[in-house]
Structure 1
Amino acid sequence: MNPKPTSSSADDARKPRSDGEQSRERLLHAAMRLFGQQGFSKTSTREIAQAAGANVAAISYYFGDKSGLYQACFGFMCTTPGGNVAAFEQPHFTLRESLQGYYHQMLAPLLQHEDADVLLRLFYREMLEPTGLWQREIENNIKPEHAALLRVLCRHLGTQEVTDDLQRLAHAIPSMCVTLLIARDVIAAVSPQLVESPAAFAVWAEQLVDYAEALVQVEKNKLQQRTA
């Protein structure tokens, strides 16, 4: 049975309780860490509750069940379907502004969250041992973002033809950022100053824009040579 809030009135019962919010946050953080380390199937609700210093029943109260808690953990990283597109696909944006918006939304977990390592490990675990959330992320966010990036590139390259070369360019641009995300441990071992703080990742964001602009210019030169 789900625990129910106790209060002297219905109005009081509807008010947010600071201790309840803290309990919910502790459960989320403990779950993200354990799910990231062990995977969904090997992590028990009892283990999560113990790590959070909470009652197992609190998981049912706040999240419904273990699956609901797992989905809530992903809410820290994943946006609503197609929610990131507006950050970089605007008709008045210059190419640089679009690329800045694109990389900023990709690096948002590293720029905004103190628990970036925990979040990324959770994401990697889902990729290795998918429960369905990763496929949902591909369909709801990655595909729409890729299509939007293609539209941005077509507009700035002055073409409407989505060639294989243009597809490769649209994959190469995020791949530089993906490498930063999935190889963070390697970078930390080789050049730790490059990933030691949110400020360091902010520098990465600007540098990646420079690199991406260079890639776009290469493709632009190729297109001009074909039409010359």
Structure 2
Amino acid sequence: MTPSTRERIMTEALRLFGEQGFAKTSVAQIEQAAGLSSGAGGLYRHFRSKDELLVEAVSARLSERGAWEPLLAPNASIAAALAPSGSTVDKLTALCRIGLARMDHDRDVSRILMRDNSIPEGLLEVFRQQEYATVMRVITGVLTEAAGSTRREQDWEATAAVVAGAIAHYWLIRDIFDGAHPADVDPERYLRATAEMIAARLDRADHEEQDRG
């Protein structure tokens, strides 16, 4: 399906904001990139301001759930959906892989949030509600499921925040170095190592539960 003019404006605006920064990107540049007459005011037929355009474009991008979608279904077995016949480490690696792919999907949004201090008020709240809360819910759900009977005794939400941070850090470092990790650690090695550390945390929780029993 051919994207509408509004969709083209949002796509090109996010790309330019991510590459140049919000403040350094002009309305005329966005119009030209979207195939409109530069400086003719066509953008304002769809958005009241550049600030509104940014918030709407980010919200639209984050609403594209992609690989997250099956993990958000009510009463879904999240861990089973990741790697049905795999080990705990396989399931956690699959989860981390989805998370890293999500960072690639959100590339321009991530660049804006992490590098740009000129963004309008309210954008961080949009990201927190539409993206980060979803990520945290999925990761916490996987950990709680995998932990079984230990779930009441351990702070899996805090562990989920560590996992999300580890994935975001890897993506950010690679992005800074033009796609190559400075330690020459490829994504699969990194994600597997992250999964193994999470699995060790789960094993420790099991041992602690057994000791208490």
Instruction: Answer yes or no: same fold by TM over 0.5.
Output: yes
SS of equivalent residue, structure 2 residue 41: helix
Structure 1 CA distance, aligned partners of 2:29 and 2:42?
13
Residue 107 (structure 1) aligned to one of 101, 110, 114? 101
1:138 aligns with 2:128: yes
Structure 1 CA distance, aligned partners of 2:196 and 2:181?
28
1:153 aligns with 2:158: no
Alignment of 1:174-213 (within 5 A): 174-184=164-174, 185-186=176-177, 188=180, 190=182, 194=186, 204=187, 206-213=188-195
Structure 1 CA distance, aligned partners of 2:92 and 2:202?
17
Deviations 1:72-101 (A, max 9, x none): 4325641269x9363377314354346514
1:220 aligns with 2:211: no
Structure 2 letter corresponding to 1:107: A
Alignment of 1:88-99 (within 5 A): 90-91=76-77, 92-93=80-81, 94=84, 95=88, 96-97=90-91, 99=93
Higher relative contact order (CA 8 A, sep 6+): 2
SS of equivalent residue, structure 1 residue 54: coil
8 Å contact from structure 1 (residues 154, 160) kept in 2:
yes
Deviations 1:102-132 (A, max 9, x none): 531442352x69xx4x554334345774531
Deviations 1:23-64 (A, max 9, x none): 656644542344235544554423433555523332123445
Number of matched residues?
194
Structure 1 letter corresponding to 2:151: Q
- Whichever of the two has the greater Rg, that structure is 1
Which runs of 5 or more residues in structure 1 are unaligned?
Answer: 1-15, 195-203
